[in-house]
């Protein structure tokens, strides 16, 4: 059964993207570039609908909890309409928090203690990851590669630790659906994933972490599987706060955007670089987990220090270039 489900996940990821590509003009699903965009030509968006289809199919076949997959699917569908219509953050954010709260309250916890503050932390973590994954989806290939690597690592963790096979199968399905999507988005984007895909991937990635973590050590290791996205977002937020910018306003200050735009690096090269770093950190998390929480945190701090240093030098170089200009 799993083999057929995996094959269907790849096919749905590709077919959904191809359908959007063909019907984008008719559906008015076109992303028109603006001054904050990293692309220069109108491009179809919403290709992540195939990823949503694969997620729903996998959830039904694997008989996952309704409290798990329905909030995620509903949120993704809302994001699909958000790709066409401008849905205000005043609507999106409350819905995201409600969906995350439903998931946390009506899904099975691995954590032994589910105090109010812990539940609140999990809800904020899920919503933040969903939005950060969406914010990081700004150049060709980066979200698709992150989905392939991140969910593959989750699948490996679940398999190595003898956890729920359904969670492992779902992780593999989502990784494969991203694989089906990726040829349409890299090296040159024929279709963008859109919020329907990026919000779903971030939401489900965080939800799986919450539901399979048995300890703080597990939680930290699993979160490390998406290290480049978390690191880039945290550093970018600190830079913007330091400059007094409104965090709710769209921008092009992420490290990956600076590399692709100001530094002129090919999108696919930046995306592959992020995927390579994500893989290295993820493998380190898998290998270091038996050593305990402190070694795992030390490894993450090491990589975060290197990532921060790269950020500093690139931002400094860009600032010097602007001064000379």
Task: Identify the H or E element spanning 297.
Answer: helix 293-324
Residue 235: the pLDDT is 95
pTM of this structure: 0.94
Task: Give the 3-state secondary structure of residue 44.
Answer: strand
| Strand extents, DSSP E, 126-206 | none
Task: Please give the C-alpha separations between residue 183 and each of 112, 120, 193, 297, in angstroms, as whole numbers.
Answer: 42, 38, 12, 35
Beta-carbon neighbour count of residue 229 at 10 Å? 25
Given a contact cutoff of 8 angstroms between Cβ atoms, the answer to whether 180 and 11 are in contact is: yes
Nearest-Å Rg of the Cα atoms of the chain is 19
Going from N- to C-terminal start, the domains of the chain cover 2-324
DSSP for 97-142, written as a single string: HHHHHHHHHHS---SS---HHHHHHHHHHHHHHHHHHHHH--STTH
Residue 83: what pLDDT?
Answer: 74
Question: Residue 180: what pLDDT?
Answer: 97
Bridge partners, residue 30, by sequence: 44
H/E stretch holding 199 reads: helix 195-212
Q: How far apart are CA 55 and CA 177, in angstroms?
A: 8
Residue 31 pairs in a beta bridge with: 43
End-to-end CA distance of the chain: 61
Q: What is the pLDDT of residue 324?
A: 62
Residues 6+ apart with CB under 8 A from 9: 54, 57, 58, 172, 173, 174, 176, 177, 180
Q: Does the bond joining 6 to the residue before it have cis omega, within 30 degrees of 0?
A: no
The reported pLDDT for the residue numbered 286 is: 97
Residues of the chain with pLDDT under 70: 34-40, 108-114, 248, 322-325
């Amino acid at each position: 059964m799993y083999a057929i489900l995996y094959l269907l996940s790849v096919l749905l990821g590709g077919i959904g993207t191809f359908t959007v590509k063909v019907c984008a003009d008719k559906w008015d699903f076109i992303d028109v570039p603006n001054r904050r965009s990293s692309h220069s030509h109108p491009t179809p968006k919403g290709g992540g609908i195939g990823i949503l289809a694969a997620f729903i199919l996998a959830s039904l076949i694997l008989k996952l909890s309704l409290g798990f997959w329905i909030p995620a699917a509903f949120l993704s569908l809302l994001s699909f309409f958000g790709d066409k219509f401008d849905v205000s953050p005043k609507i999106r954010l409350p819905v995201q928090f409600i969906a995350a709260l439903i998931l946390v309250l009506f899904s099975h916890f691995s954590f032994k203690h589910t105090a109010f503050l812990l539940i609140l932390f999990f809800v904020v973590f899920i919503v933040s990851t969903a939005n950060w994954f969406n914010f990081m989806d700004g150049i060709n290939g980066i979200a698709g590669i992150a989905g392939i690597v991140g969910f593959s690592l989750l699948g490996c963790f679940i398999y190595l630790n003898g956890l729920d096979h359904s969670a492992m199968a779902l992780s593999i399905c989502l990784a494969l659906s991203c694989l089906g999507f990726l040829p349409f988005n890299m090296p040159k984007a024929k279709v963008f994933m859109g919020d329907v895909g990026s919000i779903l991937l971030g939401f489900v990635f965080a939800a799986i972490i919450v539901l399979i973590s048995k300890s703080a050590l597990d939680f930290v290791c699993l979160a490390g599987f998406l290290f480049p996205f978390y690191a880039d977002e945290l550093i970018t937020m600190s830079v913007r706060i330091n400059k007094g910018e409104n965090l709710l306003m769209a921008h092009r200050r992420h490290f990956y955007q600076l590399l692709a735009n100001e530094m002129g690096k090919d999108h696919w090269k930046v995306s592959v670089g992020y995927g390579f770093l994500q893989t290295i950190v993820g493998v380190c998390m898998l290998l270091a987990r038996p050593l305990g929480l402190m070694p795992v945190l030390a490894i993450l701090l090491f990589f975060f220090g290197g990532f921060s240093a790269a950020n500093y030098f690139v931002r400094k170089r860009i600032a010097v270039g602007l001064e000379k200009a």
